[in-house]
Amino acid sequence: MGSEIVLILLGAILVMIVFGIHIGIALGLVSGVGIYLIVGNAGAAVSLISSTAYDAIRNEIFAVIPLFVLMGDIVAKSGAATDLYRLCDRGLSRLPGRLAVATVAGNAVFAAVTGVSVASAATFSRVAYPEMRRFGYDRKLALGAVAGSACLGMLIPPSILLIVWGVLTEISIGALFVAGVLPGVVLALLFATYNVVKAIRNPALAPPLLKDVSDEESPESRRAEQFGGVGIVALIALVIGGIWNGFFTPTEAAGVGVVGALVLGFAKGMRGADLLAAIYDAGKTTAPILFLLITASMYSRLLAFGGIVSIIQNFFNGLGVGPVVLVLIIALIWLVLGMLIDSVSIILLTVPIFAPLIAQTGFDPLAFAIFGILVIEAGLLTPPFGLLVYTVKGSVPDPEVTLAEIFIGSMPYVGMILLVAALIWAFPLLATGLTQIM
């Protein structure tokens, strides 16, 4: 009886999502109703739900999310992201399409500070897009470079999606961070190569610069940019290096990272108003995520009570499909959901069900996590939801930009993301190699 109730309620969740009810509210309502129907006692149901919510949020690992987001917001508002972009541009001066490549490189490094793709998209929409347009870059190419490369923030540590995945599956977050590095670098190189090839094949899309962008800058401005760019790299080395070498736990590293970001921001001239704005923005980003994590814990408890994971496993086993077909089905579900809801919600809804299924096939759980993040990441750029596309549209200082242009410019990046995901499925060592060395 319990399994039938859960199956019906899973359908109810999808209906509520289609009708625009927030995923967190849908998960909470369905979990509460489902547990009550299964146990048959309102008091016991409330007790189970409250204890589940309390146990979910009191874990110190959850502090990683607001701290890393705050670190990224402080760095972004200090102006160091602009410094980083300028330095990347100057270092790539001999490459065709250098401003687009600098956008990819800047996003790759900035991703190691923010962990949130939306922050990267909003920042580089204001920093990189106007620069590319000023020098005659095609609008779709410029928009695609900003939106597509922002996806790196969900893969390169400290990624919020990796943290959420680790919390749900009880995989070491430090190991997930290490596993995301090499695929993130491969993806960034693929993005950069794409822009170089586009610029060589059609120079009109990315005209060669007649003068160095930095020619207009004063020596003082250049020194300030070098300080900001080097400061970001030092902050990354402190946080990620501390985790990899065992000096910090991820939670401790996040706290140290915030202190480092404060030092960098203060040195860059950041003061009270900007700091308050960074704290406020970090709160706006993390509060919904933590609420979702609480309701997702309740949802996981419902799945356990109803035995739904075993039922789904038996269903797929009954179909007689092999691991490859199973993965294709899962990837298709993720891509469809990516058109409707955000990435964190997709992970919370599906990973408690899919991770045990894949574990039965013997596929490495770290490699599956990176594979899953990449496929879900592609949904950030696909219509009609395309969270990053809407972020770029709302942030870019160009009223003539349309959503259609951003979606068109982003489509090649979707293909490249899925290509790397396929490589990880075929060669899991791409994700697990560094973890085995370290």
Q: Spell out the residues 6+ positions from residue 222 whose beta carbon is closer than 8 angstroms to its own.
A: 214
Q: How many domains does the chain have?
A: 1
Find the angle CA(103)-CA(107)-CA(113) to the nearest 5 degrees.
150
Cα separation, 69 vs 399, in Å, equals: 29
Residue 191 is predicted with a pLDDT of: 94
Residue 357 is predicted with a pLDDT of: 83
Cβ-based neighbour number of residue 51 at 10 Å:
11
Q: Cα 154 to the chain's mean position, in Å?
A: 2
pLDDT in tens, the chain (438 residues): 556 776 777 777 777 877 777 777 887 888 778 877 777 777 777 777 777 777 766 767 677 778 888 887 888 788 777 777 777 777 777 788 888 888 888 888 877 777 677 777 877 888 888 888 888 889 999 999 998 988 887 888 878 888 889 888 888 888 888 898 899 999 999 999 999 999 999 988 888 865 555 555 566 667 777 777 788 888 888 887 887 777 888 788 888 888 988 888 888 888 878 888 888 888 887 787 777 777 777 777 777 666 666 777 677 777 777 778 888 888 888 888 777 677 777 888 888 888 888 888 888 899 999 999 999 888 878 877 677 888 788 888 888 888 888 899 999 999 999 999 999 999 999 988 877 776
Tokens of 234: 């030092």
Q: What pTM does this model have?
A: 0.79
Residue 424 is predicted with a pLDDT of: 93
DSSP string for residues in 262-289: HHHHHHTT--HHHHHHHHHHHHHHHHHH
Range of the domain at 261: 2-437
Cα separation, 397 vs 437, in Å, equals: 45
Cα separation, 143 vs 411, in Å, equals: 11
Residue 215 is predicted with a pLDDT of: 52
Residue 216 is predicted with a pLDDT of: 55
Residue 248 is predicted with a pLDDT of: 81
Residue 183 is predicted with a pLDDT of: 92
Cα separation, 85 vs 282, in Å, equals: 22
